């Protein structure tokens, strides 16, 4: 019997799943992949999604140790700074975020004061790092392919895989973002699939595959190996790479990629305010 509780919060606007993983013994917890609501037309943010997480943490008298990012998301904004201000805890992301920062700081013409060294986060994580959530241990797995900095978090018999894997009927992450690579993603997923068959797999999104009438985000290693439509045990690396590369070439960009990347590589902080006291995002032309 494991010693953790898992509470999932599904954001139907961005199809993102935020998790609160808590240690029953100590009452300490980690928050994985939070969401800050964002309206593109008005350029305004809201905290309804994050407030649901806060209410849960406070109602259950939990102490936040970590606010974790599986990667720098391109499809939603992180609520990490807001959650940290309200609940405490340390922010953390994969150490390869520096590569992602360097790439996109140039694309978006960031201010000269921005340094692509990951200092915006409290801690940078690498393969094999171990964190504690109260008396529970979290093992960090570096699982690149979707982005260079992607991490999965193994906690007892549960693994939180971000965008690396989706539900078996929806498949796997795209690999066409800068630094992404289909062969690398295949290798990362094979490492995940080496975990015990009954390991519970928690994904970062769900888009309700055709034929399914409900959102879902939990499967098992055995289910993934048997029936993931992109990478089950009958599909070779060559087949996966060919399929993923061909499919990704026709995918449209996430609708929130412009604001999400600019904010998320800053650990969820807004760009520096201009002289009028307002923060602005940039829209690069003919580059993305």
Q: Tell me the C-alpha distance between 285 and 209, whole Å.
A: 33
Q: Tell me the C-alpha distance between 32 and 20, whole Å.
A: 6
3-state percent breakdown (helix, strand, coil) of the chain, nearest 5:
25, 25, 50
Confidence of residue 233 (pLDDT cuts 50, 70, 90): confident
Domain count, the chain: 1
Query: Does the structure show a pLDDT above 70 at 1?
Result: no
Would you state the torsion angle of the CA atoms of residues 130, 131, 135, 137, taken in this order, to the nearest 10 degrees? -40
Q: Tell me the C-alpha distance between 130 and 3, whole Å.
A: 17
Q: Tell me the C-alpha distance between 40 and 256, whole Å.
A: 8
pTM: 0.96
278 part of a folded domain:
no
Of the candidates 210, 151, 197, the one whose C-alpha atom is nearest the C-alpha of residue 32 is 151
Look up the CATH number of the domain holding residue 117: 3.60.15.10
Per-residue pLDDT at 246: 95
For the chain, the average pLDDT equals: 96
Q: What is the pLDDT of residues 187-232, one digit of tens each?
A: 999 999 999 999 999 999 999 999 999 999 999 999 999 999 999 8
Q: What is the pLDDT of residues 169-199, one digit of tens each?
A: 999 999 999 999 999 999 999 999 999 999 9
Angle (deg, nearest 10), helices 237-248 and 182-193: 130
Per-residue pLDDT at 285: 87
Kindly state the greatest CA–CA separation across the chain: 59
194 part of a folded domain:
yes
276 part of a folded domain:
no
269 part of a folded domain:
no
| Pair 61, 68: CB distance under 8 Å | no
Q: Which domain holds residue 56?
A: 4-264
Q: Where are the alpha helices (DSSP H) in the chain?
A: 48-59, 80-87, 97-107, 182-193, 221-227, 237-248, 257-264
Strand partners, 137: 132
| Pair 217, 207: CB distance under 8 Å | no
Strand partners, 207: none
Q: Tell me the C-alpha distance between 79 and 37, whole Å.
A: 8
């Amino acid at each position: 019997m494991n010693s953790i509780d898992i509470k999932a919060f599904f954001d139907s606007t961005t199809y993102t799943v935020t998790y609160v993983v808590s240690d029953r013994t100590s009452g300490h917890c980690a928050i994985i992949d939070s969401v800050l609501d964002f309206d593109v037309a008005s350029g305004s943010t809201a905290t309804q999604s994050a407030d649901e997480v806060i209410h849960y943490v406070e109602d259950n008298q939990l102490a936040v140790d970590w606010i974790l990012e599986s990667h720098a998301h391109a499809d939603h904004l992180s609520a990490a700074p807001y959650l940290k201000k309200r609940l405490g805890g340390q922010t953390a992301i994969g150490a390869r975020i520096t590569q992602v920062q360097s790439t996109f700081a140039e694309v978006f013409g960031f201010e000269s004061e921005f340094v692509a060294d990951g200092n915006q986060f409290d801690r940078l994580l690498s393969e094999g790092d171990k964190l504690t959530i109260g008396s529970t241990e979290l093992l960090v797995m570096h699982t690149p392919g979707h982005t260079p900095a992607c991490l999965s978090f193994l906690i007892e018999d549960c693994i939180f895989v971000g965008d690396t894997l989706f539900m078996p009927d929806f498949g796997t992450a795209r690999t066409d973002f800068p630094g992404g690579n289909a062969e690398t993603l295949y290798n990362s997923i094979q490492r995940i699939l080496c975990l015990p068959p009954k390991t519970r797999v928690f994904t970062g999104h769900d888009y309700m595959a055709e034929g399914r009438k409900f959102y879902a985000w939990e499967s098992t290693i055995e289910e993934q190996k048997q029936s993931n439509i992109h990478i089950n045990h009958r599909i070779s690396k060559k087949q996966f790479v060919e399929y993923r590369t061909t499919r990704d070439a026709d995918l449209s960009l996430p609708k929130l990629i412009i604001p999400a990347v600019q904010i998320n590589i800053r650990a969820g902080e807004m760009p520096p305010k201009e002289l009028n006291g307002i923060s602005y995002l940039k829209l690069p032309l003919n580059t993305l």
